[in-house]
């Protein structure tokens, strides 16, 4: 091919003339470019936001809206953050479950209190309920932990502590269990 290119250049410049018996000079064929795929239209900002989203989800649990807010806080536009949340492959129910377990590993919650906390974090009621229903919590033990935490920082009457636990969302039976588990 190189020979023919050089020969063609030489013929154009008059250095050599072409004979009728010579093979025709062929230009290299150019393959048509492939049609762009949807990934090809993704902006650099969207790609980077998606990488950030996946990194965040590897480290901790996020709701859909919580992830968008976090990415926006990092400087991504709303469109980039939304693209990332839409395309990160997260199972939002599983994220709610992971978040519920994380909360229970650090503090005590009632069933309804944990649902409210997850909703506050941006999970839908359905996602929060899924997380709380599947987290494996013993709500009596959660009431006992909560009662202990209260008793560690202040004094309560038996009835006052039961009312406080009920205010947090524990059932009356759970609150009584929690108080009695702490020697009241």
| Per-residue pLDDT tens over the stretch 152-171 | 999 999 999 999 999 999 99
Q: Cα 5 vs. chain centroid, distance in angstroms?
A: 55
Give pLDDT tens digits for 126-139: 999 999 999 999 99
Instruction: Answer for the pair 131, 96: CB distance below 8 angstroms, yes or no.
Output: yes
- End-to-end Cα separation, the chain, in angstroms: 96
Among 20-24, 43-47, 117-121, 153-157, the minimum mean pLDDT is found in: 20-24
**118: buried, middle or exposed (CB in 10 Å: 19+, 13-18, 0-12)?**
buried
Residue partners of 73: CB distance under 8 A and separation at least 6:
none
The pTM (predicted TM-score) of the whole model is: 0.75
- In this prediction, residue 20 carries a pLDDT of 53
- In this prediction, residue 22 carries a pLDDT of 54
- In this prediction, residue 116 carries a pLDDT of 98
What mean pLDDT comes out for the span 21-34?
53
Question: Using CA of residue 142, residue 148, residue 150, residue 153, what is the dihedral sign?
Answer: negative
Do you know the residue count of the chain? 184
For residue 37, pLDDT over 90 is answered with no
- In this prediction, residue 36 carries a pLDDT of 52
- In this prediction, residue 11 carries a pLDDT of 53
- Other Cβ atoms less than 10 A from the Cβ of 61: the count is 24
> Could you tell me the pLDDT band of residue 6, with boundaries at 50, 70 and 90?
very low
- In this prediction, residue 12 carries a pLDDT of 54
Give pLDDT tens digits for 79-131: 999 999 999 999 999 999 999 999 999 999 999 999 999 999 999 999 999 99
């Amino acid at each position: 091919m190189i020979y023919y290119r050089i020969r063609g250049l030489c013929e154009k410049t008059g250095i050599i003339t072409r004979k009728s018996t010579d093979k025709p000079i062929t230009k290299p064929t150019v393959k048509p470019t492939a049609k762009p795929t949807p990934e090809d239209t993704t902006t650099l900002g969207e790609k980077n936001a998606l990488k950030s989203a996946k990194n965040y989800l590897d480290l901790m649990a996020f709701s859909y809206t919580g992830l968008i807010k976090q990415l926006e806080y990092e400087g991504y536009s709303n469109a980039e953050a939304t693209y990332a949340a839409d395309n990160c492959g997260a199972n939002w129910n599983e994220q709610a479950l992971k978040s519920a377990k994380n909360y229970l590993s650090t503090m005590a919650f009632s069933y309804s209190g944990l649902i409210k906390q997850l909703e506050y974090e941006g999970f839908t009621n359905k996602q929060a309920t899924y997380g709380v229903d599947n987290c494996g919590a013993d709500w009596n033990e959660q009431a006992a932990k909560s009662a202990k935490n209260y008793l560690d920082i202040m004094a309560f009457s038996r009835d006052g502590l039961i009312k406080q636990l009920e205010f947090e969302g524990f059932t009356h039976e759970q609150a009584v269990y929690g108080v009695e588990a702490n020697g009241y």
